């Protein structure tokens, strides 16, 4: 359409008229890319079982969100890949031999209760994959117990060994084996070395800020070493707390979930430290061998409090009429 004046139709926009180029979609794609090493390691260890769990949980997540959006009469937004990412992260947390219906229920609950009831993308106060994880862990504790579900595997779950037999048993696990993922645990979360590679990629590409992961790892390390120094015979050394369970996966991928984490440097560090300390407290005193998911959920609940830590605003002007 040509206007009468002879001027081309110009686009009118509000400032800023330019953009840095980073979008939700490409952040989600980069995060999925960062998860790829762990997916490959999981397939190496568990073959088709891993493929089955990850593909099913990702598929169910996208389908569930699409149905929810359809019922809510909103535009389908599966093309920003955040739901697929959410489904994959849920699949990372559950045992590779989990029955299909458990994966389906958990993945659907992650999306419905973790995300859609709050209004969809960006509105969730909790890390969505952990909500589904918590629902099925509490409802079917036997099926979520790695040792029971994975009887066919030669590998063992170091954290439940630690809980049942004390720290000496951990000497069976060499650091190299733990890094290569020769341990039971969540399908992808147990691939410690691959998760580190993914985490470094995310930090390097500036998808996540270093504040939260480093504060979390520091929180875990400091608390674990305190316990270890007090009684080395009763409490495990730091390296096992860092490399077993989903500590690293939590640090780089779950804790940094945008909508459930605080904003600003000091709140981020306080949030990471709190979650890290809580992990060790749950592992030492709690009934669950891996404290990471519950520690992160508890830290998520404290996010609004951390967000209250704010620097003084520029100039301290409190009324719009006084602005000069």
Partner 1 sequence: MNPLFSLTPTERGPIVNVREQESNIPLTISIETTGLSSLVEIGQQVARGQRIAADNYGTQAALHSSVSGTVLDVKTNFILIKTEGDRIADLLEFSTADSRTMLDNLRNAGINVQHLKQGCTLIINAVPPESGIDGHRFLIEEFNSIMIEGLTYLKDALTPIACTIAIPKGMNWTLAGCTVHEINPVYPEGLNAMVVKAVTGKEMPPEVSVIDAATLYRIGRTIHGKQPVSDIMVKVGATLFQAPVGTQVGLLARLAGFTVSQHDRVILGGPLSGEAVYTLRHGISPSTQAITVLSSGSEPTIKDSPCVGCGECVIKCPARIMPNMISRHSEFGLFENTLAYNIASCFECGLCTYWCPAQRPVLQYIRLAKKELSKQPILEDLRK
Q: Which residues bind partner 1 (CB under 8 A)?
A: 3, 5, 7-20, 22-24, 27, 119-123, 209, 258-265, 268, 310-324
Residue-level length of the chain: 324
Q: How far is the CB of 274 from partner 1 (least distance, A)?
A: 17
Residue 237 to residues 103, 168, 281: CA-CA distances in angstroms? 33, 10, 14
Q: Residue 107 corresponds to which tokens in the numbers above?
A: 């993945």
Q: How far is the CB of 261 from partner 1 (least distance, A)?
A: 8
d(C-alpha 305, C-alpha 308), whole Å: 5
What are the E-state strand segments in the chain? none
Among 41, 68, 39, CA closest to 53 = 39
Among 299, 169, 293, CA closest to 240 = 169
Q: How far is the CB of 273 from partner 1 (least distance, A)?
A: 17
Residue closer to partner 1 by CB (options 73, 176) is 73
DSSP 48-85: HHHHHHHHHHHHHHHHHHHHHHHHTT----GGG-HHHH
Residue closer to partner 1 by CB (options 11, 171) is 11
Q: How far is the CB of 26 from partner 1 (least distance, A)?
A: 8
Q: How far is the CB of 279 from partner 1 (least distance, A)?
A: 23
Positive/negative CA dihedral, 5, 8, 9, 13: negative
d(C-alpha 145, C-alpha 23), whole Å: 38
Q: Report the run of H or E that residue 115 belongs to, with start and end.
A: none
Residue closer to partner 1 by CB (options 171, 323) is 323
Residue closer to partner 1 by CB (options 142, 311) is 311
d(C-alpha 252, C-alpha 215), whole Å: 11
Residue closer to partner 1 by CB (options 30, 290) is 30
Q: How far is the CB of 152 from partner 1 (least distance, A)?
A: 40
3-class DSSP assignment, residue 23: coil
Q: How far is the CB of 151 from partner 1 (least distance, A)?
A: 41
Residue closer to partner 1 by CB (options 34, 39) is 34
Q: Residue 73 corresponds to which tokens in the numbers above?
A: 């009469």
Q: How far is the CB of 276 from partner 1 (least distance, A)?
A: 19
Residue closer to partner 1 by CB (options 17, 176) is 17
d(C-alpha 62, C-alpha 66), whole Å: 6
Q: Residue 20 corresponds to which tokens in the numbers above?
A: 């840095």
Residue closer to partner 1 by CB (options 150, 269) is 269
d(C-alpha 185, C-alpha 158), whole Å: 9
């Amino acid at each position: 359409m040509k206007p009468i004046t002879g001027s081309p139709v110009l686009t009118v926009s509000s400032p800023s008229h330019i953009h840095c180029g980073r979008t939700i979609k490409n952040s989600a794609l980069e995060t999925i890319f960062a998860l790829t090493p762990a997916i490959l390691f999981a397939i190496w260890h568990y073959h088709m079982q891993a493929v089955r769990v990850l593909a099913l949980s990702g598929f169910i997540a996208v389908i569930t969100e699409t149905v929810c959006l359809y019922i809510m009469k909103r535009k389908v937004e599966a093309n920003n890949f955040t739901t697929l990412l959410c489904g994959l992260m849920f699949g990372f947390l559950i045992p590779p031999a989990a029955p299909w219906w458990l994966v389906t229920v958990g993945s659907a609950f992650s999306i419905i209760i973790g995300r859609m009831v709050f209004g969809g993308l960006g509105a969730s106060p909790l890390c969505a994959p952990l909500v589904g994880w918590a629902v099925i862990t509490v409802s079917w504790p036997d099926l979520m117990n790695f040792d029971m579900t994975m009887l066919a595997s030669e590998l063992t779950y170091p954290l439940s060994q630690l809980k049942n037999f004390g720290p000496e048993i951990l000497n069976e696990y060499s650091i190299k084996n733990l890094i290569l993922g020769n341990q039971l645990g969540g399908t992808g979360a147990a691939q410690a070395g691959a998760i580190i590679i993914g985490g470094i990629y995310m930090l390097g590409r500036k998808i996540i800020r270093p504040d939260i992961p480093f504060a979390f790892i520091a929180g875990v390390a400091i608390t674990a070493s305190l316990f270890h120094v007090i009684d080395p015979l009763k409490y495990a050394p730091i390296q096992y707390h860092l490399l077993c369970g989903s500590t690293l996966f939590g640090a780089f991928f779950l804790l940094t979930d945008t909508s459930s984490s605080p904003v600003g440097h000091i709140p981020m560090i306080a949030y990471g430290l709190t979650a890290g300390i809580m992990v060790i407290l749950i592992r030492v005193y709690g009934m669950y061998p891996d404290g990471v998911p519950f520690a992160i959920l508890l830290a998520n609940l404290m996010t609004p409090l951390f967000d209250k830590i704010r620097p003084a605003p520029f100039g301290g002007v409190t009324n719009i009429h006084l602005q000069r």
